[in-house]
Amino acid sequence: MGTHPLSGLFDQPIAREGTESLKYDGRPATFGTDDVLPMWVADMDFAVPEAISKALQNRASHPVFGYSMTPESLYQALMDWLLNTHDWQVKREWIVLTPGVVPSLNLVVAALTAEQAGVIVQPPVYFPFFFAVTNQHRRLIENPLRLTDDGNPAYQLDLAELEESAKEAELLLLCSPHNPVGRVWQKDELLALLEIAEKHDLTILSDEIHADLVYTDAQHIPLSKLSLDSASASEASHRIITAVSPSKTFNIPGLGLSALIIPNEAHRRAIQKHLQHMGVSVTNPFNLAAFEAAYREGGEWRQALIAYLQDTRDEAIAFINKHLPAIRVIRPQATYLLWLDCRQLTLDDAALNRFFIEEAKLGLSPGAMFGRGGEGFMRMNIGTPKANVMAALSRLHATLAKSS
């Protein structure tokens, strides 16, 4: 991929120690030591777009930080973004703001399913999906992804098993694009999901927080858009809820604001009622300012970010394939996360984690935390200057060479 004029922004190292950064200052609690290169929790080491910084500074210049109203311009910025980026025309009344995508998972499970109802997740998957089900005393139904390998390992939906699981479930939690495996689901796969959902009266919450971090060799299709575009769809019968947020794309997860797109009015009312009963404050002066600035003015910065991450991804994969024969990487189509297959090291999960921390001095996310199918894998965050990524891989190469 060609170099974007702004790509140099992402090569600049930024010291994050001493800022209460979970990724950096949380190393002793997470890994038992400061002496690891942290490549775990999914935030990036890049400065946010200048437009976001300016919006926050402008709001901070006013000395009163009282309760906030959400301006209509924020909703319009989100609608414009979804239309321009994903060709998805969203109505204003469909949008419900929430405190984050993880709270949204819990909110939707609680509001739209009965106690002990079946809720499907597709491991290996972002671990809060599991807790969103069990926290609400729902029945966890697993529909594991299938890892196929014809020389080019990739994950697929197990649609046959999903068909069976859907008979016992009220809700599917879909990760699209998928964290941690990096898959962008294709149109035929999504249409098959919709067919199963229609047949079995299954509601789908599609977590699309990584939708704006898709590489040029794939294309994200919002599931809700695909459903609404079908000839038989109507808002009243619509069964897709979509979670979106600028937090991953623009590196503002600490500000905590997301949106649910809910065309079905009955679903929307139930979710709004439950959110109100929780007594949770959703907005504040700063997350409102950052959210709107990101979607209104962040387009060019995002393009530069994707170009940079794609170059990093490709260089990292080339290095792994050449120098780390015992480790396979699942090529991500989206996200700034690499899913590393370390099973050829023949270490159990505890030993594998110790190897990375104590010998390679790398702080990654253990694959086992993502559920069934994650055993023997590690998740590596490459949302950092490319020099850090290559230094980490060189460190891993040297460690493996020493132990062989």
Q: What is the pLDDT of residues 294-315, one digit of tens each?
A: 999 999 999 999 999 999 999 9
Beta strands in 200-284 (DSSP E): 203-207, 240-244, 258-261
Tell me the C-alpha to C-alpha distance, in Å, between residue 331 and each of 204, 211, 335: 26, 17, 11
What digits encode the pLDDT tens for the residues 353-396? 999 999 999 999 999 999 999 999 999 999 999 999 999 999 99
Is the per-residue pLDDT at 18 higher than 80? yes
Q: What is the pLDDT of residue 232?
A: 60
Q: What angle do CA 60, 61, 66 make, to 5 degrees?
A: 55
Using the predicted structure, report yes or no on whether residue 404 has a pLDDT greater than 90: no
Q: Which fold has domain 62-297?
A: Aspartate Aminotransferase; domain 2 (3.40.640)
Q: Average the pLDDT over 79-84 and give the result.
A: 99
pLDDT in tens, 224-257: 999 988 756 666 569 999 999 999 999 999 999 9
pLDDT of 1 higher than 70:
no
Residue 147, classed as helix, strand or coil, is strand
Each domain of the chain, given as residue ranges in start order, spans 7-49+299-399, 62-297
Q: Is 45 exposed, middle or buried (0-12, 13-18, 19+ CB in 10 A)?
A: buried
Q: What is the mean pLDDT of residues 335-357?
A: 98
CB 122 within 8 Å of CB 174? yes
pLDDT, tens digit, for every residue of 98-154? 999 999 999 999 999 999 999 999 999 999 999 999 999 999 999 999 999 887 899
Pick the CATH number of 7-49+299-399 from 3.40.50.2300, 3.40.50.300, 2.60.40.10, 3.90.1150.10: 3.90.1150.10
Whole-angstrom distance, CA of residue 368 vs CA of residue 329: 16
What was the pLDDT predicted at 150?
80
| pLDDT for residue 235 | 65
Helical segments of 243-298, H only: 265-278, 285-297
Looking at residue 364, its pLDDT comes to 99
**Quick check: 330 and 347 in contact, CB under 8 A?**
no
